[in-house]
Amino acid sequence: MYQPAYKPNFEIITDQKAPVQQSHCSGTSYWRDLFESMKVGEWFILPKKHHKQTSGAASSYMRGRYRLYLHPTLEGYYVFAKTK
């Protein structure tokens, strides 16, 4: 049977709660909050450089309830519209 060269000694704490996590992942998302605040028919314009990030977030949080297309008159801009 395999025996590790170093055997750590952990102390299991049962009489206290674990400390609160201090990372950036707090369960909230800028994109989710933005999309949920939008009503059907509302829309915004975004520059081409933000298209990929917005598209990815929309596919995660909106799941087919939006349209993202090139702006008909503004070069290099897209229109994001909530449809459902």
- Specify the pLDDT at position 4: 62
**Residues 53-69: b if buried by 16+ CB within 10 A, e if exposed:** ebeebbeebbeeebebe
The mean pLDDT of 3-31, rounded to a whole number, is 72
Provide the token pair at 45: 């314009």
Confidence of residue 70 (pLDDT cuts 50, 70, 90): very high
Instruction: Give the DSSP letter of residue 15.
Output: S
Residue 43 in this model has a pLDDT that exceeds 90: yes
Residue 26 in this model has a pLDDT that exceeds 70: no
Provide the token pair at 71: 């702006």
Does the reported pTM lie above 0.85? no
Per the CB < 8 A criterion, the answer to whether 45 and 77 are in contact is yes
End-to-end CA distance of the chain: 60
